[in-house]
Chain A
Amino acid sequence: MTRTFLGLPVRRGARTLPDDVARPGGHGTSASAGRASDAFGDVPHPDAPLRWGDAFPDAARVALQNTQLRRNLAHATSTIRTKRAAVVGEVPDWEALRDAGSAIKTDVMARLPELLEELERNVVARGGVVHWARDADEANRIVADLVKAKGVDEVVKVKSMATQEIGLNEALAAEGIAAYETDLAELIVQLADDMPSHILVPAIHRNRAEIREIFLARMGDAPPDLSDVPRELAMAARAHLRRKFLSAKVAISGANFGVADTGTLTVVESEGNGRMCLTLPETLITVMGIEKVVPTYTDLEVFLQLLPRSSTGERMNPYTSLWTGVTPGDGPQEFHLVLLDNGRTDVLADEVGRAALHCIRCSACLNVCPVYERVGGHAYGSVYPGPIGAILTPQLTKASGGLSGHDDPNASLPYASTLCGACYEVCPVKIDIPSILVELRAREVDADRGRPTGWGAAMKAASFVMSDARRFRLAGKAAGLGRVVAGSKGRISTLPPPASGWTRSRDLPAPAQQTFRDWWRDRPADAPRTEGGEGR
């Protein structure tokens, strides 16, 4: 992985749109690419969307130094938490909806093969084409070939986690195809050559002043007197993308739900960029994870209540589009659905971990997580951050060691939690994230068993000492020497490694003057049993 530091920018070749300067109205980025003033802070440049950067503990330590980031996140997450609580509170049957949503998803996983075949059958029956992709490379190849077959070198995109996960934009760029993100937050991230840090609001780590700077420097056609008022910023994005929408020939989207019994696809959005992409171009390519299928059309009545209130904290998002194959005379006349595995079947194979596939990507768990609120999304080193990312990312990358490899940064993700349980409380489909985190921690520890570690050596030594009374007594006496280190303040604040791992964030109390064994031996015979001796 390469990082761009202020003053030392290194741009990823693949992430940059091809030759923007030659594209009037395009994202004018590459002309000044090499200048230091162009870099918007320390932004991650991943090689793999599901595994980048340092392991969580190290990445979190760096992120915690960024006070601006913490301010932005605290403001944004507290805003959304309040909104969500208000609109969830007004639904009398919220818990019944969660129960239904959870049960539907459990049912989906149990019947996934039949449901996928049913979805395929119904999409094809309505004039769509269904493709299957084992992994990211295969999905990217399918999409790139479809775009090239249309003879175009640019596409418009609706925000989609699945296409983030497979690195589609980079893959298309490598084929000479420019992918224009049209969601406002994705646009901000793309213009800043940044990575998303939130499932729903990828630019949540940016405040309005930073967004204004990004637009002015990178948009190319931003009004020079642009202020940092959110409405003005939104209007600049509208003007910037208008032409693209009206002229685009091919659009790429994800899907929130794919209905098996009708072949209907659903995209939930706010700005209208989704409708633009799903409606105006001649060709629509939708990339959908295989876990997004729902059995029946009426199941939408559950999820279309759970999702908006959980994600943006609205009673309903401004726009939801539903389409079934091709409708003659209305919308794209060519529709491709790419069904994506990319590690999902590995997650499914785990009876406990598979509940992570129930996720409907609302991001409520991110917004309530005390860890996420402080470190932000980038520290998780995956396009799926926060509590759901901590259980989903290691499992999706299980085949390449994401869960068991002691050197794999993803193996540390299940520890990125205090197990406070807030994520489970808000999850609209009741994914028991804390229990899965504990389970994954156990798996990681099991996988590491037998490998020489400091921890293992320490436990062996402790076992040797504690299994013999004489050795234990001597060790007790030796520990008393710790009083020298502790000094007059009675506590030990710094120790050399490896014990520094403890004292870095906690003090160690000074050992007692007298060991319990000595006190027991020396205590006065008639001392009341409820009192300790003087050596206590």
Chain B
Amino acid sequence: MSARDDVLARVRAALGAPAPGPGPAAGRAAASGGTAPAGTVPREYRAHGDVAPGSAEVVEVLVDRLVDYRAHVHHAAGPADVAALVGDLLADATSVVVPAGLDEAWLGGLGDATAVVRDARDDPRTPDELDRTDAVVTAARVAIADTGTIVLDGEPDQGRRAVTLVPDVHVCVVRTDQVVQTVPEAVRLLAAHPERPQTWISGPSATSDIELSRVEGVHGPRTLHVVLIGA
């Protein structure tokens, strides 16, 4: 019997022939919530937030959470503002990698001293090339206000997962109409394309491994700038 068939047979046997009859605690365990019949999952939790996607209130919550994670938040009225901000933020960068599908207008403020490196699935930069790049600029798919999370799904304006990982500075441009309040709102939106590789980002990389105190900046980008357009 193959391991596959064997494991599946064991699982079926385990479910079909419950072992040593319920002892003294069985009644309590059964009464304590963890045993809804198969197929009936109560979903009383919030599927939507109290505030509308893209509203000023929801953006305010997102900003609060991002700042709490030590991300830097900037506001832009439109593409020209974005270009100016990106130019300012990356004034010292000698090279910036951008996904091939990024809005070119956002890069107009970069100085001549900053080389722009393109990356695409059919024309990828190597990890070493990315390591020599100072920063990355991308768009985003959706942002979750309650948790301060930005989700990238690898589309051409967000790029391969590696480009937002190796460079030390990530400038992420989020439209305010992409901001939802709750996790379920974001998951249901992302469920349209579950096959896309996703990266959920909540602040710069961090660790709590030393005495459970949070330290920002480990292997991922140590600096995260979030530019909100339309705020």
How distant is the Cα of A242 from the Cα of B165 in the complex, in angstroms?
Answer: 12
Residue pair A316, B200 in contact (C-beta under 8 Å): yes
A interface, CB within 8 angstroms of B: 72, 75-77, 79-80, 83, 92-93, 96-97, 99-100, 102-107, 109-113, 116-117, 126, 131-134, 138, 182-185, 188, 201, 203-204, 207-208, 211, 230-231, 233-235, 237-238, 241-242, 245-247, 259, 262, 264, 270-273, 275-276, 278-280, 290, 297-298, 300-302, 304-305, 308, 312, 314-325, 327-331, 339, 341, 345-346, 348-352, 354-355, 358, 424, 429-432, 435-436, 438-439, 442-443
A406 to chain B, nearest CB (A): 17
Residue pair A126, B195 in contact (C-beta under 8 Å): yes
Residue pair A297, B191 in contact (C-beta under 8 Å): yes
How distant is the Cα of A231 from the Cα of B219 in the complex, in angstroms?
Answer: 12
Within 8 Å CB of A314, what residues of B?
A: 202, 214
Residue pair A103, B36 in contact (C-beta under 8 Å): yes
Q: 15 pairs across A/B with beta carbons < 8 Å?
A: A80-B208, A106-B38, A134-B3, A207-B211, A234-B210, A234-B218, A245-B127, A301-B183, A302-B45, A316-B148, A318-B201, A320-B199, A320-B200, A330-B197, A331-B162
How distant is the Cα of A279 from the Cα of B165 in the complex, in angstroms?
Answer: 9
Chain B residues 30 to 51 lying within 8 A of chain A, measured CB to CB, are: 32-36, 38-46
Residue pair A442, B25 in contact (C-beta under 8 Å): yes
A-B contact count (CB 8 A): 317
Within 8 Å CB of B183, what residues of A?
A: 301, 304-305
Chain B residues 3 to 38 lying within 8 A of chain A, measured CB to CB, are: 3-4, 6-8, 10-15, 17-20, 22-26, 28-29, 32-36, 38
- Kindly supply a per-residue 1/0 record for chain B positions 166-192, scoring 1 wherever the CB is within 8 Å of any chain A CB and 0 otherwise: 100000000000000001101110010
Residue pair A351, B45 in contact (C-beta under 8 Å): no
Chain B residues 200 to 231 lying within 8 A of chain A, measured CB to CB, are: 200-215, 217-221
A533 to chain B, nearest CB (A): 40
Residue pair A107, B208 in contact (C-beta under 8 Å): no
Within 8 Å CB of B161, what residues of A?
A: 275, 278-279, 321, 330-331
- We find that the number of chain B residues with CB closer than 8 angstroms to chain A is 90
| Residue in B38, B127, B194, B204 whose CB lies within 8 Å of A318 | B204
How distant is the Cα of A37 from the Cα of B36 in the complex, in angstroms?
Answer: 55
B interface, CB within 8 angstroms of A: 2-4, 6-8, 10-15, 17-20, 22-26, 28-29, 32-36, 38-46, 65, 69, 120-122, 124, 127-128, 131, 144, 146-149, 154, 160-162, 165-166, 183-184, 186-188, 191, 194-215, 217-221
How distant is the Cα of A301 from the Cα of B142 in the complex, in angstroms?
Answer: 14
How distant is the Cα of A203 from the Cα of B208 in the complex, in angstroms?
Answer: 11
Within 8 Å CB of B197, what residues of A?
A: 321-324, 327, 330-331
Residue pair A280, B162 in contact (C-beta under 8 Å): yes
Apart from A246-B166, A247-B127: 4 A-B pairs, beta carbons within 8 A: A276-B219, A329-B120, A350-B19, A431-B34
Known interface pairs A72-B211, A324-B194. Does A246 touch B127 (Cβ–Cβ under 8 Å)?
yes
Within 8 Å CB of A100, what residues of B?
A: 41-45
A189 to chain B, nearest CB (A): 10
Known interface pairs A106-B35, A304-B183, A349-B14. Does A237 touch B208 (Cβ–Cβ under 8 Å)?
no
Within 8 Å CB of A305, what residues of B?
A: 45, 147, 183
How distant is the Cα of A76 from the Cα of B215 in the complex, in angstroms?
Answer: 14
Within 8 Å CB of B39, what residues of A?
A: 107, 110-111
Residue pair A272, B219 in contact (C-beta under 8 Å): yes
How distant is the Cα of A76 from the Cα of B211 in the complex, in angstroms?
Answer: 5
How distant is the Cα of A432 from the Cα of B29 in the complex, in angstroms?
Answer: 6
Residue pair A301, B187 in contact (C-beta under 8 Å): yes
